[in-house]
């Protein structure tokens, strides 16, 4: 993990949060207290930055710097507002295609998905702030730089983001092995949000209930699921083919 990917220490973290730095998440030592830690927690809540209590040993493993019980992780990816992104697509004469990711926590998968999104014409990624892969140097490297070019919209809850997309006229299609409709029969034209979930956790029930259609990728082998980055490439290619055809 790159040293410039982290900020260590109570007052440096407070200043980063006050200054509106792109803090992705915080690790705070369990039982840590004091005015500084309390301010960090309040600033994190105000700015919707997720934080996690951890044992001091985890912080010590991450850095040899004096961390004072708190480490902030910076994202290399600039966040954008979902409504603004969708509005901009419409204004430019485009038909929005948003890729929403639920439970995708592997950094390399995140990078590969962003690369497919760039190659196959998805306009933006929609990810929750909690329970998603870090958007640090490893993810950017795995994406071949696509994460620096593709808008990334982070929301407190994915369900809120999908409802906002629906309010902007997007239809929601969830790609899951539980889907009744095969991919070949699914209409992927028009304003669309495609939801993908990791093969271990899958798409959550709350997100699944918001979907207008559940679609599956037919398979012939004995393994029950595809890697999420592979499945994403398949459905985005299908969407591109329909939209170009």
Question: What residue has token string 């912080």?
Answer: 59
Are 207 and 157 in contact by the 8 Å Cβ rule? The answer is: no
What is the model's pLDDT at position 137?
81
Strand order in the sheet with 192-197: 152-155, 124-128, 97-102, 192-197, 171-175, 213-216, 181-182
> How does DSSP assign 187-201, residue by residue?
---SSEEEEEE-TTT
What is the model's pLDDT at position 6?
86
What is the model's pLDDT at position 39?
93
Query: What angle do the packed helices 158-167 and 82-91 form, to 10 degrees?
Result: 30
Are 126 and 153 in contact by the 8 Å Cβ rule? The answer is: yes
What is the model's pLDDT at position 4?
58
What is the model's pLDDT at position 164?
97
What is the model's pLDDT at position 224?
67
Query: What angle do the packed helices 35-46 and 10-18 form, to 10 degrees?
Result: 30
Query: What domains are there in the chain, each with its CATH number?
Result: 3-74 (3.30.1330.30), 82-244 (3.40.1280.10)
Distance, CA of 225 to CA of 85 (rounded, Å): 32
- pLDDT by 10-residue block (mean), the chain, 245 residues: 74 89 89 91 90 92 90 86 96 97 92 95 94 84 89 93 97 90 92 92 92 91 81 96 91
What is the model's pLDDT at position 183?
92
H and E: helices and strands count for the chain:
10, 11
Are 156 and 189 in contact by the 8 Å Cβ rule? The answer is: no
What is the model's pLDDT at position 23?
87
> How does DSSP assign 118-168, residue by residue?
HHHT--EEEEESSSS---SHHHHHHTTTHHHHS-EEEES-HHHHHHHHHHT
What is the model's pLDDT at position 47?
87
């Amino acid at each position: 993990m790159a040293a410039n990917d982290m900020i260590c220490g109570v007052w440096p973290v407070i200043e980063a949060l006050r200054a509106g730095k792109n803090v992705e998440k915080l690790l705070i030592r369990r039982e840590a207290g004091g005015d500084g830690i309390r301010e960090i927690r309040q600033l994190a809540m105000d700015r919707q930055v997720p934080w996690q209590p951890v044992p001091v040993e985890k912080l010590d493993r991450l850095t040899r710097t004096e961390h004072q019980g708190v480490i902030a992780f910076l994202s290399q990816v600039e966040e954008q507002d979902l409504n603004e992104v969708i509005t901009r697509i419409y204004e430019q004469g485009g038909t929005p295609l948003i890729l929403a990711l639920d439970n995708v926590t592997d950094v390399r998968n995140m990078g590969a998905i962003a690369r497919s999104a760039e190659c196959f014409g998805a306009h933006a990624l929609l990810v929750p702030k909690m329970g998603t892969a870090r958007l640090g140097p490893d993810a950017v490297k795995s994406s071949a730089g696509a994460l620096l070019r593709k808008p990334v919209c982070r929301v407190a809850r994915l369900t809120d983001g999908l409802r906002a997309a629906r309010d902007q006229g997007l239809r929601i299609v969830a790609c899951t092995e539980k889907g009744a409709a095969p991919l070949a029969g699914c209409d992927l034209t028009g304003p669309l949000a495609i939801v993908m979930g990791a093969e271990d956790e899958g798409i959550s029930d709350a997100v699944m209930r918001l979907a207008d259609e559940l679609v599956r990728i037919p398979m012939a082998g004995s393994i029950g699921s595809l890697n999420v980055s592979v499945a994403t490439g398949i459905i985005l290619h299908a969407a591109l083919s329909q939209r170009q055809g």
